[in-house]
């Protein structure tokens, strides 16, 4: 095998003759595609060329078995961890019974639309809860490339099998798009059901009891009961009620670090101009950015960057304001957004309650809501263009004003449908967050990043779970309840779609006794 590279402008792909010339008559396979914008922005395509008779390695997925009559494993949650755990169980000959508190991926859209239009939060169906989990409507970024815990190709190839663009197999920063993900998620469910698995929506688990024979009995809010000897708990990073349920049974929990900050919105053309050194043209991909800084002993970093995207309300309970970002597959919107957040560790919040960081998170989200309500009620409130009174309006401030400690006298347009109201985020956010952000923004190494054309909206607080459900390192079982496998972001063992899916796969293997 011989590896070679072709470099070409961002507005075109390599031509067939270029590839054949480089391959020298050998058979060739594209392995990686990435954008290099260190100088003139270009595509870099990496190919492998194989001699006649030389075997081209191919990745093959395991076959799904018929599990209609197989032993059951209950999977609580239908986000990435739960879905991929269920798929893995099919290959292992076990029957997944998926219990999801929310609605199917299409029905939940109506609840999310109502949330954006009216500010009405359905606590079981929103941007965080429902089939596909929080990741189903946040662009579908697949940036995790680490294979230390599992071969991530199992996740990527299955996503392609169920409808994702094959480009995710070679792109260095692959994404699916919030407009494409629902169909992929639905196809996964249809496969699981066709092979004998079960899906039950509107099934919020309210109790888990261990029976005399060592199996578990689960009851949902509507009174339905389910039982199995093994349970995979994949409930997502916002399921406070699950932590409370486990704690009430004497189960162990641990405080876990998370990150909090703001959503930063720039005109996409500014990001394009900066990242492509003023050479962006129609047909080029919308530019991305990322950065990591250290400030006063804590990391400050960009998170979940959405080129050409929009901001959405991600509250899971009334009386709170929470923001997240998403992009459709074309990433063609006029605004770019990203979370810029500060790492918060357990020692930053006094006390020894394992839920204290989640309590801190909730307190800040409520303070954002309360400030917004008071500001909107006051005469002369400064709103974003076109904004009308909305209960989930976000407190917001221009970037330079934030760093200088000045209230913004006007706000630029925002993609956030509920709108924004001018607020002193420099004093409204917790000092441990605001002070670090104010020091970092001016030194971000991107031309025109630090500008009053950028809008900060608060609060971005659902970066990961502030609680960990501890598990045995070898068996992956919950230390307090053998036979239960805490999994994914909600358990505190992953962050993002791919790492959550990998953790779901590992927990399925562990539940089968094969880890």
Query: Each residue of 376-411: b (16+ CB within 10 Å) or e?
Result: beeeebbbbeebeebbbbbbbbbbbbbbeeeebeeb
- Report d(CA 351, CA 404) in Å as an integer: 33
Both 328 and 437 in one domain: the answer is yes
5-27 pLDDT, tens digit each: 999 988 888 999 999 999 988 99
Query: Each residue of 191-215: b (16+ CB within 10 Å) or e?
Result: bbeebbbbbbbbbbbeebeeeeeeb
The pTM of this model reads: 0.93
Tally of domains within the chain: 3
Q: Would the pLDDT of 190 be above 70?
A: yes
What pLDDT is recorded for position 172? Answer: 87
229-269 pLDDT, tens digit each: 999 999 988 889 999 999 999 999 999 999 999 999 999 99
Both 246 and 100 in one domain: the answer is yes
The pLDDT-based confidence of 514 (bands split at 50, 70, 90) is: confident
250 located within any domain: yes
Both 480 and 453 in one domain: the answer is no
- Cite the beta strand spans of 345-448 per DSSP E: 394-398, 420-422
Both 228 and 323 in one domain: the answer is no
Both 279 and 184 in one domain: the answer is no
Q: Would the pLDDT of 143 be above 80?
A: no
71-128 pLDDT, tens digit each: 999 999 999 999 999 999 999 999 999 999 999 998 998 888 888 888 989 989 888 8
456 located within any domain: yes
Both 489 and 434 in one domain: the answer is no
- Report d(CA 107, CA 124) in Å as an integer: 12
Both 287 and 184 in one domain: the answer is no
CB 218 within 8 A of CB 226: yes
61 located within any domain: no
435 located within any domain: yes
Q: What is the DSSP letter of 380?
A: T
Both 212 and 294 in one domain: the answer is no
3-class DSSP state of 327: coil
206 located within any domain: yes
The pLDDT-based confidence of 145 (bands split at 50, 70, 90) is: low
Tokens of 274: 């900066």
Average model confidence (pLDDT) across the chain:
93
Q: What is the mean pLDDT of residues 412-423?
A: 96
What pLDDT is recorded for position 144? Answer: 57
Both 140 and 83 in one domain: the answer is yes
Both 318 and 281 in one domain: the answer is yes
395-404 pLDDT, tens digit each: 999 999 999 9
Both 139 and 262 in one domain: the answer is no
Q: Would the pLDDT of 488 be above 80?
A: yes
Q: Would the pLDDT of 509 be above 90?
A: yes
Q: Report the share of the chain in percent with pLDDT over 90.
A: 77
264-295 pLDDT, tens digit each: 999 999 999 999 888 888 878 899 999 999 99
Task: Give the domain range for residue 26.
Answer: 2-50
CATH of the domain at 199: 3.50.50.60
Q: Would the pLDDT of 154 be above 90?
A: yes
309-359 pLDDT, tens digit each: 999 999 999 999 999 999 888 889 999 999 999 999 999 999 999 999 999
Both 92 and 19 in one domain: the answer is no
């Amino acid at each position: 095998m011989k590896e070679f590279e072709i470099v070409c402008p961002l507005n075109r792909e390599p031509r067939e003759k270029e590839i054949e010339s480089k391959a020298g008559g050998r058979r060739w396979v594209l392995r990686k595609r990435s954008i290099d914008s260190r100088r003139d922005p270009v595509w870099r395509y990496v190919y492998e060329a194989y001699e006649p008779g030389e075997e081209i390695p191919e990745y093959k997925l395991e076959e799904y078995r018929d599990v209609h009559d197989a032993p059951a494993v209950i999977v609580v949650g239908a986000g990435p961890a739960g879905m991929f755990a269920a798929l893995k169980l099919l290959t292992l000959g076990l029957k997944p019974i998926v219990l999801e508190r929310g609605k199917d991926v299409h029905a939940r859209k109506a609840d999310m639309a109502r949330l954006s239009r009216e500010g009405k939060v359905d606590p079981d169906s929103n941007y965080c809860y429902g089939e596909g989990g929080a990741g189903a409507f946040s662009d579908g970024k697949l940036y995790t490339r680490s294979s230390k815990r599992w071969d991530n190709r199992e996740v990527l190839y299955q996503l392609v099998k169920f409808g994702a663009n094959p480009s995710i197999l070679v792109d260095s920063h692959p994404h699916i798009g919030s407009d494409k993900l629902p169909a992929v998620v639905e196809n996964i469910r249809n496969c699981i059901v066709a092979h004998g698995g079960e899906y039950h929506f509107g099934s919020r688990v309210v109790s888990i009891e261990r029976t005399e024979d060592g199996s578990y009995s689960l009851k949902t809010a509507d009174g339905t009961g389910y039982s199995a000897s093994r349970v995979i708990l994949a409930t997502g990073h916002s399921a406070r009620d699950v932590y409370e349920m486990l704690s009430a049974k004497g189960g162990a929990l641990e405080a876990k670090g998370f990150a909090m900050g703001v959503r930063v919105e720039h005109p996409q053309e500014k990001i394009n101009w900066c990242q492509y050194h003023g050479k962006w043209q129609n047909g080029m991909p919308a530019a991305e950015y990322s950065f990591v800084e250290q400030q006063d002993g804590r990391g400050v970093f960009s998170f979940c960057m959405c080129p050409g995207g929009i901001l959405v309300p991600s509250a899971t309970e009334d009386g709170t304001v929470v923001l997240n970002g998403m992009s459709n597959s074309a990433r063609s919107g006029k605004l770019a957004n990203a979370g810029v957040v500060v790492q918060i560790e357990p020692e930053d919040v006094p006390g020894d309650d394992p839920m204290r960081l989640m309590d801190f998170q909730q307190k800040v989200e409520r303070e954002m809501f309360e400030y917004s309500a008071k500001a909107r009620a006051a005469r002369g409130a400064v709103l974003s263009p076109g904004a009308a009174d909305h209960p989930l309006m976000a407190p917001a401030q221009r970037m330079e004003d934030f760093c200088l400690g000045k209230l913004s006298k006007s706000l630029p347009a925002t993609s956030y449908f509920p709108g924004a109201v001018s607020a002193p985020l420099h004093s409204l956010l917790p000092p441990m967050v605001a002070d670090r952000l104010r020091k970092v923004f001016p030194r971000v190494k991107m031309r025109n990043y630090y500008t009053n054309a950028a809008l900060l909206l608060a609060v971005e607080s659902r970066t990961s779970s502030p609680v960990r459900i501890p598990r045995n390192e070898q068996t992956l079982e919950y230390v307090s309840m053998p036979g239960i496998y805490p999994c994914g972001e909600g358990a505190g063992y992953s962050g993002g779609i791919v790492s959550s899916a990998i953790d779901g796969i590992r927990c399925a293997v562990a539940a089968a006794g094969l880890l």
